[in-house]
Structure 1
Amino acid sequence: MDSEHRIPVAGLLLALIGSAAPFAAGLSWELSLGLLLVWGCSLFILPSPETRTQSTAPTAEAMRATFAQIIEHSATPLMLTVGNRVVNANNATRTTLGAHVIGQDVRVALRHPNAVELLDSGRNGETVVTGLVRRQDIWRISQVQSDLGFNVVELTNRTAEADVSRAHTDFVANASHELRTPLASILGYIETLQEAPGSIDSKTSTRFLEIIHREAQRMQNLVSDLMSLSRVEAEKHDLPETNVDLGALVRRAAVEGAGHERRNRLTMHCKPDIVVRGDAQQLEQLVRNLVDNALKYGAADGPVTVELTRYGVGNAQLSVADTGDGIPAEHIPLLTRRFYRTDPGRSRAAGGTGLGLAIVKHIVERHQGRLDIESTPGQGTRVSARLPMVETDPSQSLPEQAGATGGLPPEEDVGVHG
């Protein structure tokens, strides 16, 4: 017989003895009978201790509902399944796979042979699938069985990790290729000079040495840019804390980027009293890279305009524009990738490393700014960097202002052209 419907024999005997005691003591039999009836009935009406324990214990369904509430706001997609049927899916899962996943067969929801094999096995484990949400994305699917009659299925997006790993592999391969090309050229000319030292005339020997020097300089520039990119990436989460007079810095860095032989092609327009919170060394590199690119790839002997103005509310905008051939629209989104070139032959001939705009992009990002590239084929290209300004008291001097003009007289703030 079920424990809930068992006759409480011991309780009845105790009730009988307890109710007989008043009658034996000389009280009326009606009192003894009433006591017996009340006591006996209470044994059948009140639940037993075991029944009370069972009634207060949470059911599996209640536990599942509680667990569903706990995982609802987790950033990781999680599902609860019973017999391969999705009974609960948190917000991250509904965003990733759609709200219709609830009530669906989990194997149909995931639609991947590896996932189906894991889910059909009914065991704890994990597998990796591709293309779960978008083509080429990578997900790890884990299944854990619980003692409450349901399984927990977890989806972990591994696409970003794979992209980083692939980017590192591509970066090493590209860097190795870029270094190998000039190195092979250097070694080839050196071997030629060593094998026939007496048979090569002075003019040819001088030409070989010039090529060796040019290729060595190219390698040095590449290594320097690689080190700069590495430093910028390492510091990208460290916000600069120093106030920098951007106008003085732009004037100095632009002239340095142009060099003495190209300085006459520059035209500069810099508004005064523009201060940003930044890393002066990196901001100088940003200006030098933009000016050097414009002079290299713009029209031969054509002017390059450098402008520093206020933009909107609380922003400064540095723009560098050339009058070259321009860049086709399909190339513009790719220009800040490492080693990307629209014309590899021309870039290498000009001494470019393919890293200049990648460095610029990381510097702008570290300074919480924005980089824009506009180009019209046949008219030229304009690259603009917007940076948040710092409002300062004009009476306070900035440490970076000392010697910031780099020898330029004040009247050259507007126009270094010619």
Structure 2
Amino acid sequence: MFWLRTLLWCALWATLGLLAGSVFTPAIGWSIPCLAFFAMLIGRGRSLARVARWAQDPSTAPPADVGAWDDVLAPLYRYLRMQSRVLHESHDALENMVAGAQALPDGVVTLNDEFQIDWCNRTAMRHLGLRLPYDRGSKLLNLVRVPDFVAYAQSGEWPEPILVRLSNSGQERVMMLQLARYGQNQHLLISRDVTQIEKLETTRRDFVANVSHELRTPLTVLTGFLETLRDMPQDAMPAQQREQYVSMMYEQAQRMQAIVEDLLTLSTLESSHGAGPAIVNMSELLQRARQQAEALSNGRHTFEWHVDEGLDLLGSAGELTSAVSNLLTNAVRYTPDGGKIAVYWEADEEGSAHYRVKDTGIGIAARHIPRLTERFYRVDRGRSRAVGGTGLGLAITKHVAMRHDAGLGIESEPGKGSTFSLNFPPERVSRAQG
């Protein structure tokens, strides 16, 4: 009621002026309301100046005792505080949303209707090679120039994601990209790195194909011989030839049995957690492996043995036997007659234990080494079948090493031989008492 109070004050001062003019002189009567009005104007001016200073920073509390301005400033200040609180809450909510989007394992890119980039999270930067704020406003299709994705984006309908191969920092990755509409003519791009999934799927397909291929050869031999023996009269084949056929069938059956046993071993290693570690007498284990290797060599190679007989391991005796024998057997199979094979079982100064098999065999080209532990991977398929083996030995050895916290090392040079090693950490090492 600002105007009513002002009117009352004016009426009061006018009445006082009339009374003073009737008692004294008219000049005195006029001077009283004039002075009152002048004082009121000065007071209102000072109050207005204080309000003007407050208006420069309305986030602070308004000035007190500013007369009629109190009725204006109080609701205005309450409104400003409410708006500030709403703005602060909205800012916090937005920051939480952005933080959540940054934490997503998938990439997220917001785009306008022209596919220009508004924002993206860190995962999308890594997936697509984007840079913010440098790329903000740039057209996505100019940065991701894969023809399949460009055609997908321009189709206007995206019921399903698309798989594209992108090269980033010299490394090819397989990305699943999905576009969707949201808001007012806005687009959302979601990216997911499926490189590992694609690799596992490829490995699965290769594994099925390799198993089929490895089993098909002995099965074909067995089937052929059995059909021959079934259709041929009893007296039509000499006993010596029949014995030869049976021997070859037995050999192929043993090959299939070895493949199946290795597959079961590999499956067990991959799916089970294993029993608790026990102390394994490595000296005895290596002695048994030595007997098997020298029997397989049959005097065709020279062996050197450097075994620390007091050095044992905490682990599974059966698994370690498989790993140790696989490396030693491979050395015998792929080292030509007259070659040398050296076996080392020793500890270093830091307490780690190392099992190494060094041969003077045919060696392996560097490009093959990263894939040697893949199932059924063979550098030379013809030679591998000729010397025996299932193609699963190194895959089994790798899993045994992982289950014993060890590393599998491979060093090789064509024509100069190879060195395969199992390197066990100090916590897996045990010293024999006495």
For normalisation by structure 1, the TM-score amounts to 0.75
Counterpart-to-counterpart distance in 2, 1:205 and 1:269: 47
CA deviations on 1:157-212 (whole Å, 9 max, x unpaired) are 11211111111011011101110110110111111111112200111101111111
Please tell me the residue identity of whatever aligns with 2:97: F
Please tell me the residue identity of whatever aligns with 2:116: R
Please list, as runs of the form range in 1=range in 2, the aligned pairs for 1:283-362 lying within 5 A after superposition.
283-300=320-337, 302-311=339-348, 313-362=350-399
Partner of 1:85: 116
- Structure 1 pair 379/216, CA: closer, same or farther in 2 (3 Å)? same
Partner of 1:42: 71
Kindly, what percent of the aligned residue pairs are identical?
28
Give ranges in structure 1 of 5+ residues lacking alignment.
Answer: 1-13, 398-418
Aligned-pair CA distance for 1:222: 0.9
CA deviations on 1:65-113 (whole Å, 9 max, x unpaired) are 6533443354433233345332333233333414243442223233245
CA contact (8 A) 1:124 1:142 kept: yes
Partner SS, residue 219 of structure 2? helix
Partner of 1:275: 312
Please tell me the residue identity of whatever aligns with 1:361: K
Give ranges in structure 2 of 5+ residues lacking alignment.
Answer: 17-32, 45-65
CA contact (8 A) 1:118 1:125 kept: no
Counterpart-to-counterpart distance in 2, 1:301 and 1:217: 28
- Are residue 368 (structure 1) and residue 392 (structure 2) matched? no
Aligned-pair CA distance for 1:320: 1.3
Partner SS, residue 132 of structure 1? strand
Please list, as runs of the form range in 1=range in 2, the aligned pairs for 1:40-79 lying within 5 A after superposition.
42-43=71-72, 46-47=75-76, 56-58=85-87, 67-79=97-109
Aligned-pair CA distance for 1:366: 2.5
Partner of 1:244: 280
Query: Which gives a bigger RCO, structure 1 or 2 (Cα 8 Å, sep 6+)?
Result: 1
- Are residue 109 (structure 1) and residue 146 (structure 2) matched? no
Partner SS, residue 101 of structure 1? coil
Partner of residue 386 from structure 1, selected from 413, 423, 434: 423
CA contact (8 A) 1:326 1:377 kept: yes
Aligned-pair CA distance for 1:119: 5.2
For normalisation by structure 2, the TM-score amounts to 0.73
Partner SS, residue 269 of structure 1? strand
- Larger deviation: 213-222 or 47-56? 47-56
CA deviations on 1:244-272 (whole Å, 9 max, x unpaired) are 34333333334345548748954322113
CA deviations on 1:248-307 (whole Å, 9 max, x unpaired) are 333333434554874895432211332333222111100111111111221226443221
CA contact (8 A) 1:225 1:353 kept: yes
CA contact (8 A) 1:255 1:263 kept: no
Aligned-pair CA distance for 1:350: 2.1
Aligned length: 381
Structure with the greater alpha carbon radius of gyration? 2
Q: CA RMSD in A?
A: 4.1
Aligned-pair CA distance for 1:333: 3.0
Partner of residue 223 from structure 1, selected from 247, 260, 266: 260
Please tell me the residue identity of whatever aligns with 1:95: R
